Structure 1
Amino acid sequence: MNYENFVKKIHGEFEMLAERKGLSGRVVIRDIVKNNNVHLKSISVVNDENRATPTIYLESYYEEFCQGKDISDIANEIFEMYIMNSCGLNFSMEDFMNYSYIKNKIAYKVINYDMNREMLKTVPHLHILDLAIVYNIVIEEDAYNSATAMIKKEHLDMWQVSKKEIEEVALTNTPELMPPVIMRMEDLLAEMIINDISMQWDDEDEQEQWDFVKEDCAYGGHPKEKVSEYVREEIEKMKYDDKIDMYVLTNEKRINGAGTMFYDGLLKKFADKIEKDLIIIPSSVHEVILIPKDNEISDEEINEMIGEVNENELETVEILSNHMYLYCRRDDRIYM
């Protein structure tokens, strides 16, 4: 079954589940243009109350189908995901039209300028370096349910506000809505491994409530704190080069965190602390990597590495840029 037929089949299965479960609204399939001009198919429900509803993207589910998963099981999984993510979203069209209500929810993110030229024709933005700063309404009700809506030029007309006002509001809001985090690369890797171990254990043995990691995990039978210690020790041993310190700059949500490099005074404070200029590696739209500037590694080597990662490791939608930047603390400025 090709992808188009898969989408049609999921649409039909979802409609039957919605009717059986008493879900009101019209099930729709949309072609969504994401970052870097990536087109994705999604399924959602248009409801009578004009309230925000989750958008579920279907590409990963098609991969599961191609690997042999039953399409009815996939439809049930999508439906359950939809219901779970619907619970916390209390945002209506009336809310969206009310600028006073959404003003404090406006934040910015950064994307690649050239890869999004077509989209940027309809979106208020600020062109900086080879990037564009664009603006979202951040809708979040709890730790598990969140969504964003990109602000377009037509919305400024509806609210009767200027692009300059949106820029100023976002500049103030974003660090508060998405506080910055700077951490050593080793600590981030350790955090990811520990979270993965914890999630595996939590799924298999929920009643233990995190007292011990299951015995079939890497350091079986030890308290979680001890496992964390072991993981961090192993990561330190694996460090590629003791002469190169690498730091990850993102936000607390770990989503669209690359924009933190434009937070007022943040890079200046960090660069002054380590007393060096900074190489900025745009590892994805979600984070950047900071390396103290010295002569140990050339710009050409870094740019080659960025290109390889973008081509072989990242999804197209996550690519930020193909080259490094330099932060000069004397000028308090980022250069290409």
Structure 2
Amino acid sequence: MNISKKEAEEFKERLVLSVINYRENVSRLQDFPFCQRGEFAVLAQFCVGEKNGTGQYTACLTVSKNMLEKLDLTEEALFGIACKNSREMFPGEIKRLEDINGVTMELRADGIIAPEVFVFTNEQRFNGAATLFYQPDLLSDLCGQIGKENLALLPTGANEIYCIGLEDGEKEDLQEYQKLFEEMLKELDKKDHIANNVLCFNGKSQSIQEINGESYDVGLMAKEVNINKRIVGHGR
């Protein structure tokens, strides 16, 4: 089926980023353009239908290689457009966990320190975990605001990532957070297992180091796009 120029432009306007677990879906990815970043596979989705009351689209289709060919787009262009659209349509935000659910989490097994936990998502909580790949500068800003060079990231679902500041030389705490995260995964729906391990984010380099030592940059492209940044509820 041929796509008119107008239809192609309308299609491009509804492209956004999403993330899934790469290792658990690798056999299903052969028909789809994707960017692998460690445990994650970053995909482009086409939003269909209308937005509901919370600003989420009622349905999305993952862009296939066949769709990409009909649009006459390169993969680089596809992800550039989806990245830009995601920043504009679903701007990221970071909130304190207790401001969301009123509960302060005790995350240290020894009970000595109860670190402040932040939730990284977007305003509509729509593909919120993908914000890591189109707006990582928010995490760098958070590092600066709380005075930490690194953050422990716990990907708790497709729509959010928990963030905890790490002191210099405290990367061994990732092992403790890993144990906690493994317990959390048991309570999560399988579809929300977008990662199996805790990640360490460096605010200066905007890079991730996984527990197995693998490192990668999280910013996909189009870093020059200016958007409004929101870190809500810190420093009250």
Q: TM-score, normalised by structure 1?
A: 0.54
Counterpart for residue 327 of structure 1: 201
Residue of 292, 308, 330 corresponding to 2:165: 292
Q: Which secondary structure does the structure 2 equivalent of 1:176 belong to?
A: helix
Structure having greater relative contact order (Cα 8 Å, sep ≥ 6): 2
Match of 2:128 in 1: 257
CA contact (8 A) 2:3 2:70 kept: no
Q: Check if 1:270 corresponds to 2:142.
A: yes
Which structure 2 residues correspond to residues 207-246 of structure 1 after superposition, within 5 A? 235=103, 239-240=105-106, 243-246=114-117
Corresponding residue of 1:318 = 192
Match of 2:58 in 1: 146
Aligned to 1:123: 32
Partners of 2:5 and 2:175 lie apart in 1 by 46
The CA deviation at 1:255 is 2.9
Distance 1:286 1:115 in 2: 18
Partner of 2:154: 281
Q: Say whether the 8 Å CA contact 2:152–2:164 is kept in structure 1.
A: yes
1:108: which partner in 2? Answer: 17
The answer (yes or no) to whether the contact 1:137–1:150 under 8 Å persists in 2 is yes
What SS is found at the alignment partner of 1:118? helix
Cα deviation for residue 142 of structure 1 reads: 3.7
What displacement does 1:97 show? 9.1
Checking the alignment, whether the CA contact within 8 Å between 1:95 and 1:101 is kept in structure 2 is: no
Aligned residue identity for 2:176? E
Please state whether the residue corresponding to 1:323 is helix, strand or coil.
coil
Structure 1 unaligned blocks of 5 or more: 1-92, 191-234
Q: Write the mapping of 1:39-188 to structure 2, written as runs, cut at 5 A.
A: 98-144=7-53, 146-188=58-100
TM-score by length of 2: 0.76
In terms of fraction of residues, the more strand-rich structure is 2
Is the 1:98–1:159 contact (alpha carbons within 8 Å) kept by the matching residues of 2? no
Aligned to 2:215: none
Report deviation, 1:141. 2.3
- Decide whether the 8 Å contact of 2:49 with 2:58 is kept in 1: yes
Over aligned residue pairs, what C-alpha RMSD do you find?
2.4
Task: Choose 1 or 2 for highest CA Rg.
Answer: 1
Distance 1:324 1:96, change over 3 A: farther
SS in 1 for 2:195: coil
> C-alpha separation between the residues in 1 aligned to 2:114 and 2:172?
10
Q: Distance in 1 between matches of 2:5 and 2:34?
A: 19
Shift of 1:297: 7.4
Gaps of 5+ in 2: 211-236
Q: By how many angstroms is 1:140 displaced?
A: 4.7
Name the SS of the counterpart of 1:116 in structure 2: helix
Percentage identity across aligned positions?
23
Q: For residues 296 and 117 of structure 1, what CA distance do their matches in structure 2 show? A: 29
Contact 2:16 2:47 in 1 (8 A): yes
Change (3 A) 1:328 1:185: same
Cα distance in 1, alignment partners of residues 83 and 51 from structure 2: 23
- Look up the equivalent residue of 1:266 and give its one-letter code: L
* Partner Cα distance (2:31, 2:171) in 1: 43
Structure 1 distance, partners of 2:178, 2:5, is: 41
Q: Secondary structure at the match of 2:183?
A: helix
Q: Judge conservation of contact 1:97–1:158 (CA < 8 Å) in 2.
A: no
What is the CA deviation profile of residues 98-146 of structure 1, one whole-angstrom value per residue up to 9, with x for unaligned ones? 2111111100111111111122111100011221100101235243462
Alignment CA distance shift 1:94-1:143 (3 Å):
farther
Which residue of 2 is the match for residue 305 of structure 1? 180
C-alpha distance after superposition, 1:3-26 (max 9, x if no partner):
xxxxxxxxxxxxxxxxxxxxxxxx
1-structure distance, mates of 2:29, 2:92: 26
